Chains A and B, each alone.
Chain A
Amino acid sequence: MKVQLIMKEKKMTIKILLVDDDLDILEQTKLMLESKGYKVVTANSSDEGWKKYQQEKPDIAVLDLIMEEYDSGFILAYKIKKASAEKKIPIIILTSVTYVTGLKFDAATVEEKEWTKCDAILNKPVVIDELTKIIETLISIKQSNKQVNK
């Protein structure tokens, strides 16, 4: 009981930056994540996402891949990773097509994670349990890394 309570409290402090150019998807994912107890800030484009990142300083970012350009998600991920070098903000990319220019990508290996500048790639439509599981895992890795660094 006690452990659960702590988890719940912790979750409340987790702030997610959610960026998607599809307003319906944005609203749905926000609702679902909020129902799981996260704080969610949303943005409707990669430009807005970048602004929101700087204003809100989220703990984790969930980005749509194809927005204005086919690789908008990757570019935003790169910017956030570069700006958050100290804090190492975990990034999850959401996409509905893994083949865009005949290029297959994934974030399974270290090289791929390095190249795509993200920690996980999830397929759309979003399955909320899958998404929350990955969020939890990435947050706990981040936390344990912090412990080690200390």
Chain B
Amino acid sequence: MPGHPKVLVVDDEDLLRTGMQRLLEMEGYAVDVAANGTEGVSLGTKGDYDLAIIDLKMPDKDGMEVLKEIHADKPNTVCFIATAFASFDTAIQATKLGADGYIPKPFSVEELLQQLQLGYKKRLLLLETERLRKDRENRLLEIAFERTRMNTIVNALEDGVLVVNKNGEAVLYNPSALKYLPLNEIFIEEFIIPKLNPQIAALINHYLLAEEYLPQSFSTQLALDETNETFIQITCSPVPHPDGTLAGVVTVLKNITELKKIEQLKSQFVSMVSHELKAPMAAVYGYLKLLSDDSITLTGEQRQKFIERSEFRLDSLLKMVNDLLDISRIEMKTVHREIIDLNLSEIIKTILELFSLEIKNRGLIVCFFFLENLSSIKADAEEINRLFTNLISNAIKYNQTNGRIDINISVTENFLVTTIADSGIGMKNEEKKKLFHEFFRAKNEFTKEISGTGLGLSIVKRIVDSYSGKIEVESEFGKGTKFIVSLPFRTSMKIEYFENEK
């Protein structure tokens, strides 16, 4: 016998029991025995027996009862009823109760073995059935799980998804689809095409009405509302059957409002730059025209002035292009930064030295206050230099003759705070708001003789922002302006702290 089928023999007759055990063990069965019904039930429900031979008449428990109890727990154990009182009635009753066979006593060895072999085959079939049933259950569970998982994923998508079959009926959609279509509700299997935005409907109909299967995807963009506040991109793709015909169409709706906004800002910036670059060129062009026009008589003084103005305008054009390149480098984050320990007071001293001629010519008084050893910061030297050069240059340019500049470096808990105050022309409130905008320059009687690109403070702001610092401005028109630059030094402090601890 392959696999040593496990057999339980329940019989109150010692001789019969041990005889059967010996016989079956010789035939390759693994045999357990029970001397009464109670023991039989206990063994039969605990162990998973392939086969059981149960005596019908036992003093403590009827064989049929034992069979019932074993089956209640182990339905796949093939049970035989053995009895000396063989009668047709008991055979029928045993079968009705679920006995798989009937072994009359006394039995022939051959008859017994044949019955057991058939029983074992049945046992194997029962086990196989059980396995298949479990498999099927598992698979159904898996499918159900798969479906829930897909629904969860589709519902969680920020993009809207709508699937229609080849008849244009809705098959699947997610809440975002309702938002972007926009529809209050979609019913599965309803003919959805007429409810859709005509542009989206046309895109889907493209596939549904085509004579042949179209493998490519189509996209379009549209404004969701009349005020052009929300833009969506619609992409339709075909879903093929395995035979290559059209099964349906998937429509994905993506909110591209932010992208549109960036696009708009970019083109606004480009037209601003174009305007700013064209202005000095137009001015120089105009002067050249005047100088070369024979029909206009100019004095020598005028000619000299026009040449000087042209040079001045070209010079500022050049500065502006350089500033623009700097801005683009900061924006693209391609600036190679070398973060080192810097002494801010040293940097400011150097800048003031570079400007010493201008300061002297304007008759300005500069007061620089700082505490020795309390102005170190970790940053890129070139950027910090640029930042304070722009601010100090402004404080000189927009100052009154014989005015003053006060520079002060102080330390707060988290920031190194530098204030640069001038006694200059100051700003009006509406000018203050636009101060850091590209190309903004206050225009009044005083500023028209001052050269500038309108990009200096924009660069300052970008540098300060890139160090997570902040810049504030206090100003009174006609009185002066004060810039307060706070640069964080927290990271460097922390590092020092840890090093000290070691």
* A contact set with B: CB distance below 8 Å: 21-25, 28-29, 31-32, 35, 44-45, 66, 68, 96-97, 99-102, 124-126, 128
Is residue B448 within 8 Å, beta carbon to beta carbon, of the partner chain?
yes
A96 to chain B, nearest CB (A): 4
Known: A24-B309, A96-B275. A124 touches B282 (CB 8 A): yes
Is residue B287 within 8 Å, beta carbon to beta carbon, of the partner chain?
yes
A21 to chain B, nearest CB (A): 6
A143 to chain B, nearest CB (A): 26
Residues of B within 8 A of A96 (CB): 274-275, 278-279, 282
Mask, B17-31, CB within 8 Å of A = 1, is: 000000000000000
The count of residues in chain B whose C-beta lies closer than 8 Å to any C-beta of chain A is: 23
- CA of A85 to CA of B293, assembled, Å: 38
Known: A22-B279, A24-B313, A31-B296. A97 touches B274 (CB 8 A): yes
- CA of A99 to CA of B309, assembled, Å: 28
| New A-B contacts (18) at CB < 8 Å, excluding given A31-B290, A35-B295, A96-B282 | A22-B279, A22-B282, A24-B286, A25-B282, A31-B296, A32-B290, A44-B448, A68-B443, A96-B274, A96-B279, A99-B267, A99-B271, A100-B268, A100-B275, A101-B271, A124-B278, A124-B282, A126-B286
Is residue B42 within 8 Å, beta carbon to beta carbon, of the partner chain?
no
Is residue B214 within 8 Å, beta carbon to beta carbon, of the partner chain?
no
Known: A25-B283, A32-B290. A101 touches B309 (CB 8 A): no
* B contact set with A: CB distance below 8 Å: 264, 267-268, 271, 274-275, 278-279, 281-283, 285-287, 289-290, 293, 295-296, 309, 313, 443, 448
Q: Is the beta-carbon distance between B290 and A125 smaller than 8 angstroms?
A: no
B260 to chain A, nearest CB (A): 11
Q: Is the beta-carbon distance between A28 and B279 smaller than 8 angstroms?
A: no
User: Can you identify 5 A-B contacts, CB atoms within 8 angstroms?
Assistant: A44-B448, A96-B275, A99-B267, A101-B268, A102-B268
Residues of B within 8 A of A128 (CB): 289
Residues of A within 8 A of B274 (CB): 96-97
Residues of A within 8 A of B271 (CB): 97, 99-102
Residues of A within 8 A of B290 (CB): 28, 31-32
- CA of A96 to CA of B281, assembled, Å: 10
Q: Is the beta-carbon distance between B283 and A28 smaller than 8 angstroms?
A: yes
- CA of A29 to CA of B285, assembled, Å: 12
Residues of A within 8 A of B295 (CB): 35
Q: Is the beta-carbon distance between A32 and B287 smaller than 8 angstroms?
A: no
Known: A35-B295, A124-B278. A28 touches B289 (CB 8 A): yes
- CA of A24 to CA of B286, assembled, Å: 8
Q: Is the beta-carbon distance between A66 and B285 smaller than 8 angstroms?
A: no
Residues of A within 8 A of B268 (CB): 100-102
Of A21, A28, A66, A128, which is in contact with the most chain B CB atoms at under 10 Å from its CB? A28
Residues of A within 8 A of B289 (CB): 28, 32, 125, 128
- CA of A13 to CA of B293, assembled, Å: 24
Residues of B within 8 A of A101 (CB): 268, 271
B294 to chain A, nearest CB (A): 11
Residues of A within 8 A of B443 (CB): 21, 45, 68
Known: A35-B296, A96-B282, A101-B268. A28 touches B275 (CB 8 A): no
Q: Is the beta-carbon distance between B283 and A24 smaller than 8 angstroms?
A: yes
Q: Is the beta-carbon distance between B287 and A28 smaller than 8 angstroms?
A: yes
B66 to chain A, nearest CB (A): 92
Of B274, B282, B295, B448, which is in contact with the most chain A CB atoms at under 10 Å from its CB? B282
- CA of A24 to CA of B302, assembled, Å: 12
